[in-house]
Amino acid sequence: MHPRIVDTLKKNQLSITESRKKILEMFLQRKGALAHADIEQQSGEEFDRVTIYRTLQTFVEKGIIHSIPSADNSVRYALCKDDCSEGHHHDNHVHFMCDHCGTTYCLDHVSVPPVAIPPGFKVTQVDVVASGTCMKCQ
Partner DNA sequence: ATTATTTTGCAACATTGTTGCATTTGTGTA
Partner DNA sequence: TACACAAATGCAACAATGTTGCAAAATAAT
Least distance (Å) from Zn ion to the CB of residue 74? 15
Q: Please identify which residue in 7, 48, 86, 127 interacts with DNA, judged by CB under 7 A.
A: 48
One of 39, 52, 65, 106 touching Mn ion (CB under 5 A):
106
Terminal-to-terminal C-alpha distance of the chain: 34
d(CA 51, CA 46): 10
Q: Is 50 in the site for DNA (CB under 7 A)?
A: yes
Q: Considering beta carbons, is residue 16 or 117 the nearer one to DNA? A: 16
Sole binder of Mn ion in the list 64, 78, 84, 134 (CB under 5 A): 78
Pick the stretch among 7-15, 70-78, 82-90, 116-124 that binds Mn ion (CB under 5 A).
Answer: 70-78
Rule CB under 8 A: say whether 132 interacts with its own copies: yes
> Residues in contact with DNA, total (CB under 7 A)?
22
- C-alpha 48/C-alpha 52 separation (Å) is 7
Q: How far is the CB of 135 from Mn ion (least distance, A)?
A: 18
Rg of the chain on CA atoms, in Å: 16
DSSP state letters, 98-113: ETTT--EEEEEEEEPP
Query: Per-residue string for binding with its own copies, 73-92, x by CB under 8 A?
Result: xxx-----------------
- The full length of the chain comes to 138
> What is the β-pairing status of strands 65-68 and 76-79?
antiparallel
Residue 74, interface with DNA (CB under 7 A)? yes
Residue 94 near residue 111, CB atoms below 8 Å: yes
